[in-house]
C-alpha cells in the first residue's frame, strides 16, 4: 500500500450538485416483484436516486457545482493553478474533459488541466493528487471536480443494478493553510478486474453493432457489454476484507485511534455494507453519515456529496473518508474539515 502524508494542505470549500429529477425505487415493481423489492430497498437503504436528463453530462453537474462555489465564496477563478476532473463518464473518448471545463469556467489558460478515471475510490485518489500538487511551490489552489452519471451506464432491465445508481457532481478547493497533517492510504488489486466492469467500448473490446444490443444474461437480467456488470457477492467480500483493515492501517500510520475520529464518511455503496463496516470497526454509528437513501450510489462522488449534504453541523476536525470499488482499488484519507466551507447542496 502507498501511504502519503501532507503538512498544512487542506480543503477550503466543497460544493455538490444533483439533478432535480427523482427516480424512486418503489417504481421498479415491473422489474422486481413487490415483496422482493421492499426487502431490497430496506437492505440496500436506497429509496430514491437523482438522475440526469439525456443531454446532461457529468461535466455539466461539476460545472454547476464549481460555478456555485466561485459565486458563493471569495475564491477567484484566476487563483486556480490546477484543475482535475475525476469521472468514469467523460464527455468524449478524446479529448480529455478537464480542458473544456477550464474554458467553460473561465479559468486562466495557465491552468494545468487533466482527467482521472478510477471508480468509487476515485475521490480519494484524486484528492491525494490534488494535495500533492497543492504542496508544490508556485501552486496556489487546485480545483478538483468529481462527477458521475452512472444512470447512463446501466440497463434499466438489470435488476441487480437498476435500483442502485444515481448521478451527482462536486467541486473541491484544495490549498495551503493551517490545516496540520493529512494522511492517505492508497491500494489496488488488479486480479479483481472482472468483478465490476463495462466490458465493451475500450481498446480491448471495441464497439461493434453486435455488442450494442441488450441481451439476456443471468437471472433474467438484460444488459449489453456497454453497460455495467457487477458481481455483488465478490464486491461485498472484497470490501469486507479490505476496507476496515485499510482504515486501521491509516490510523496506525497517522498515530491515531478510532476514538480520535469525529466522523467516518464511507463511499455510499449500500447501507448493509456500511453497517457491517461499523460493526467490524466497533465504531459509533452516530458518527457515520448516510446520504444513500436519497441519492443512491453515486460512485466516486458519493463522498463529497455526503459531506456536503450531511455533516455541516457536526464535529469534523478528524474525518476519515473511505472509497472502494472497481479495479479493484480502495483508499482512505484522514483530513481536517473543521474550517472547510461546505456549501448548501445545489440542484439543476
CA distances (Å), origin 206, targets 94, 97, 202, 203, 215? 15, 21, 5, 6, 17
d(CA 294, CA 343): 18
Catalytic residue among 57, 62, 161, 267: 267
Q: How is residue 251 written as a grid cell? A: 490510523
Handedness of CA 240, 331, 334, 172 (dihedral sign): negative
**3-class secondary structure per residue, 106-147:** CCCCCCEEEEECCCCCHHHHHHHHHHHHHCCCCCCEEEEEEE
Q: Helices H, strands E: what count in the chain? A: 8, 16
In this structure, the dihedral spanned by the alpha carbons of residues 188, 302, 15 and 176, taken in order and rounded to 10 degrees, is -30
C-alpha span between 161 and 228 (Å, rounded): 8
Catalytic residue status for 181:
no
Among candidate residues 120, 161, 187, 318, the one labeled active-site is 120
Cα separations in angstroms, 231 against 234, 293, 326, 331? 6, 22, 11, 20
Catalytic site includes residue 62: no
Q: Which three cell numbers stand for residue 91?
A: 464527455
Categorise residue 290: left if φ over 0, alpha if ψ from -120 to 50, beta otherwise: beta
Going through the chain in order, the beta strands assigned E by DSSP cover 2-18, 22-24, 48-50, 80-86, 112-116, 141-149, 167-188, 196-197, 215-216, 222-223, 229-230, 263-266, 319-325, 329-335, 341-342, 346-347
- Report the C-alpha gap between 23 and 1 in whole angstroms: 38
267 is catalytic: yes
Contact 67, 60 (CB under 8 A): no
Marked catalytic residue, from 161, 187, 270, 297: 297
d(CA 292, CA 281): 20
Residues belonging to the active site? 120, 267, 297
Amino acid at each position: 500500500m502507498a501511504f502519503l502524508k501532507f503538512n498544512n494542505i487542506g480543503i477550503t470549500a466543497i460544493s455538490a450538485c444533483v439533478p432535480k429529477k427523482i427516480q424512486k425505487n418503489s417504481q421498479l415493481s415491473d422489474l422486481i416483484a413487490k415483496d422482493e423489492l421492499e426487502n431490497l430497498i430496506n437492505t440496500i437503504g436506497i429509496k430514491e436516486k437523482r438522475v440526469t436528463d439525456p443531454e446532461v453530462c457529468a461535466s455539466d453537474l461539476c460545472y454547476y457545482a464549481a460555478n456555485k462555489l466561485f459565486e458563493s465564496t471569495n475564491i477567484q477563478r484566476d487563483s486556480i493553478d490546477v484543475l482535475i476532473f475525476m469521472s468514469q463518464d467523460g464527455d468524449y473518448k478524446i479529448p480529455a474533459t478537464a480542458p473544456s471545463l477550464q474554458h467553460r469556467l473561465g479559468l486562466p489558460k495557465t491552468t494545468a488541466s487533466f482527467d482521472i478515471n478510477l471508480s468509487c475510490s476515485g475521490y480519494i485518489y484524486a484528492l491525494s493528487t490534488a494535495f500533492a500538487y497543492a504542496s508544490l511551490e508556485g501552486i496556489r489552489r487546485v480545483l478538483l471536480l468529481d462527477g458521475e452519471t452512472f444512470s447512463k451506464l446501466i440497463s434499466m432491465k438489470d435488476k441487480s443494478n437498476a435500483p442502485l445508481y444515481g448521478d451527482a457532481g462536486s467541486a473541491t478547493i484544495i490549498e495551503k493553510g493551517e490545516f496540520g497533517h493529512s494522511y492517505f492510504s492508497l491500494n489496488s488489486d488488479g486480479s479483481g478486474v472482472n468483478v465490476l466492469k463495462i466490458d465493451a467500448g475500450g481498446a480491448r473490446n471495441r464497439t461493434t453493432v453486435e455488442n450494442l444490443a441488450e441481451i439476456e444474461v443471468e437471472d433474467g437480467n438484460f444488459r449489453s457489454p456497454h453497460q455495467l456488470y457487477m458481481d455483488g457477492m465478490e464486491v461485498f467480500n472484497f470490501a469486507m476484507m479490505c476496507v476496515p483493515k485499510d482504515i486501521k492501517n491509516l490510523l496506525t500510520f497517522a498515530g491515531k485511534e478510532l476514538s480520535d475520529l469525529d466522523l467516518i464518511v464511507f463511499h455510499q455503496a449500500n447501507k448493509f455494507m456500511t453497517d457491517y463496516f461499523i460493526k467490524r470497526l466497533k465504531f459509533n454509528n452516530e458518527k457515520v453519515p448516510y446520504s444513500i437513501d436519497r441519492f443512491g450510489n453515486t460512485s466516486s462522488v458519493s463522498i463529497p456529496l455526503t459531506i456536503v449534504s450531511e455533516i455541516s453541523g457536526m464535529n469534523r476536525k478528524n474525518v476519515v473518508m473511505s472509497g472502494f470499488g472497481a479495479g479493484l482499488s480502495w483508499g482512505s484519507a484522514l483530513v481536517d474539515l473543521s474550517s472547510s466551507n461546505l456549501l448548501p447542496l445545489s440542484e439543476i
